[in-house]
Structure 1
Amino acid sequence: MITPTSSATPVSLGFSMPAEFAPHDACWMLWPQRPDTWRYGAKPAQQAFVEVATAIAESETVFVGVNDEQYENARNQLPDSIRVVELSSNDAWMRDVGPTFLTHPDGRLALVDWEFNAWGGLEGGLYFPWDKDRRIRTKIAEMLGVERFVAPVVLEGGAIHVDGEGTLITTEECLLNANRNPNLSRDDMERVLRNTLGVDTIIWLPRGCYLDETDGHVDNLCCFIAPGEVALNWTDDDTDPQHAISREALAILEQARDARGRPLKVHKLPQPGPLTIEEDEASGIDRLSHSHPRRPGDRMAGSYVNFYIGNSVVVMPLLDPARDDEARAIIEGLFPTRRVIGVPAREILLGGGNIHCITQQQPRRHRRQA
């Protein structure tokens, strides 16, 4: 039964958010087509999305939501095993516009319907309008026939990472940004996170990656890869602005304890680049007054931390030939039971995010015991 829950919180009803490395039933994505985000009519980006979806489909069911005018094109480009569904959107960032899924010990699946304002609304947001994005969570709840919890706060999925055992990592730069929830204090936000996601311990990092246009999403800087273990975007170059951000995060993570009292083991992943937008890449994008500018020479917030953890695969971005092999070797060491698949992902980065940003895991429902 589909019901937007009223006064009861998900936690009071027994729901919580599982870790990404826990088993999934599916992965959700959206199809890129927006010409002021994706160059050359999104054709290069579409190819990158096809490769990401194909890699994840080795591991679990993949749903790709498509606007009606692109349905036939997407269906012809994507493998037959991938489920293409009509699901209108303003752009293709399923991590942020899609639902946060919750599970219950009795086998139920539910989702959180956060507010969405395109990463800042009219005060720094990346595009307008975002009306189609705003309806995606409701539509997915109806498609799956699961309960939908309405959370009256602005929050994107890329802003949080959990270990499934009571610990959440986020950044002050994003969740406490005045362009999201200006009337909420840090204590207010922590209360929302605890009551909605079932977490006890919240680790606040000050900032996300340098020049991340999402206002510092944590999933581009740091993520849980196992209970008590995180991966962190890192550079040894102390002249790079990212160095101070990563060093600051490392100091906090090394002092932190998770919800079970464990210290965190931090694995450093080398930063690609630095990477900047080339002249021909910028010239292929429609320049509109209400969209985020993408200019030649602009630095992009590239990070190998922005990978997707599937049931049997980890799909990682290939961003820099000088660093790709080193990053892949580290990720393979972190996930010895999963096959690491590298996908050329510069076209996704040109749009402002990466593989984790365009995907959203649907956790496996707990099966009732007979």
Structure 2
Amino acid sequence: MSLFFRPAEWLPHRACWLAFPSHEDLWGELLPQVRFEFAALCRAIADPDPVTGQCRGEQLKILVLDETGKATAHSYLSDLNPQFYQLTFGDIWLRDTAPVGLINEAGERRLLCLPFNGWGKKYQLAGDSDLAIRLALLMGIPYGSVPLFLEGGAIEVDGEGTCLTTRQCLLNPNRNPYLSSAEVEARLKPALGVSKILWIESGLVNDHTDGHIDTLVRFVAPATVVCMLAESPEDPNCDVLRTIYEQLQTLTDAKGRSLEVIPVPSPGRVTSQKGEILPASYVNFYIANTTVVVPTYGVEADAKAVEAIAKLFPSRRTIGLPARTILEGGGAFHCITQQEL
């Protein structure tokens, strides 16, 4: 049997799955602005031609709760020709609750449904824990699981045998309290089709995902990663980002290559409406077929970070879009997307 593996995100996608922001009890007065930011992201992923209107990017597959939600979503996205699917879901974080796509060398597809416990039992929302399996059944693609609690945002792969993750998340007592790093590796490697796992210690301040790697380090090419560095000692993540940057320079991938480590600025201190530090990250971008969509936060470093990331993807159009309101929920663009292979 051919090995199924998780390919790099820059390879072609059939579609992008998202969930239309719908829960007033979760978002409150922020919901209209969240929908505005969501729609802008969808437009960048679909990438309509400004002259013909024909979408050059990815097919959008949007979850909605009911007919009312479908009508509202349609009012935002109708010109992008999305496909709507009525399913119960807890919130918009499909990177963590939707199935993870795998392929083999023959191009056959499988789905990996990750056991989900609400980010360490912090946010257990109705419709999230079994969403991956329900989506796999809807998609009609064979699926399997892995005996580990983790989320899609906790793993970052190069498609050539290497996976990045954090100890803070996968070895957290709120997820896998009785497993060592070796035991986690023994389960995760065959599930993702990787041969080497690189462990980063911990993540951003106030990250309720307990250090998801997709806010810290991303592969942008074979043996090449991007991370953030603080531009001010007052950045709440100054020390942890420096530690990550220095550790990455000591690591080799599954093929024995030293990593090329490319730093971009950190957003610095970004706070919620209540004054709490938020886990803002520029590397929480989504690599779509024709675009790279980078979250921005209305801070000084936005333009510099988008420009730096654009240089890493010369064959795509890099777009910086506001994600400040979505971030109030704990994440940004990568967190609310999941590619279909």
Q: Could you state the TM-score of these two structures normalised by the residue count of structure 1?
A: 0.86
Partner of 1:253: 248
Partner of 1:208: 203
Q: Give yes or no for contact 1:174–1:216 (8 Å, CA) kept in 2.
A: yes
**RMSD, aligned CA:** 1.4
Cα deviations across residues 221-253 of structure 1 (Å, max 9, x unaligned)? 111011111110210333434121111111221
Percent identity reads 40
Structure 2: unaligned runs, 5 residues or longer: 48-56
Written as runs of structure 1 = structure 2, the 5 A alignment for 1:150-229 is 150-229=145-224
Written as runs of structure 1 = structure 2, the 5 A alignment for 1:198-347 is 198-278=193-273, 296-347=274-325
CA distance in 2, matches of 1:299, 1:185: 31
CA distance in 2, matches of 1:173, 1:35: 31
The amino acid of 1:211's aligned partner reads N
The DSSP-based 3-state class of the residue aligned with 2:62 is: strand
Structure 2 residue 116 is the aligned partner of structure 1 residue 116: yes
CA distance in 2, matches of 1:179, 1:86: 31
Cα deviations across residues 171-220 of structure 1 (Å, max 9, x unaligned)? 10111100011122111111111110011111100011122111110100
Shift of 1:13: 4.9
Partner of 1:285: none
Shift of 1:36: 4.4
The DSSP-based 3-state class of the residue aligned with 1:119 is: helix
Partner of 1:40: 29
Partner of 2:53: none
Shift of 1:139: 2.1
Paired residues, number: 330
Q: 1:54 to 1:233 in 2, by over 3 A?
A: same
Shift of 1:150: 2.1
Structure 2 residue 49 is the aligned partner of structure 1 residue 61: no
Shift of 1:321: 3.9
Structure 1: unaligned runs, 5 residues or longer: 1-11, 279-295, 364-370
CA distance in 2, matches of 1:337, 1:39: 39
Partner of 1:79: 78
The amino acid of 2:93's aligned partner reads W
Partner of 1:136: 131
The amino acid of 2:178's aligned partner reads N
CA distance in 1, matches of 2:77, 2:90: 20
Shift of 1:311: 1.1
Q: Give yes or no for contact 1:316–1:343 (8 Å, CA) kept in 2.
A: yes
Question: Which has the higher relative contact order, 1 or 2, with Cα contacts under 8 A spaced 6 or more apart?
Answer: 1
Q: Could you state the TM-score of these two structures normalised by the residue count of structure 2?
A: 0.93
The amino acid of 2:215's aligned partner reads N
CA distance in 2, matches of 1:221, 1:77: 31
Query: Among residues 19, 24, 27, which one is paired with 2:8 in the alignment?
Result: 19
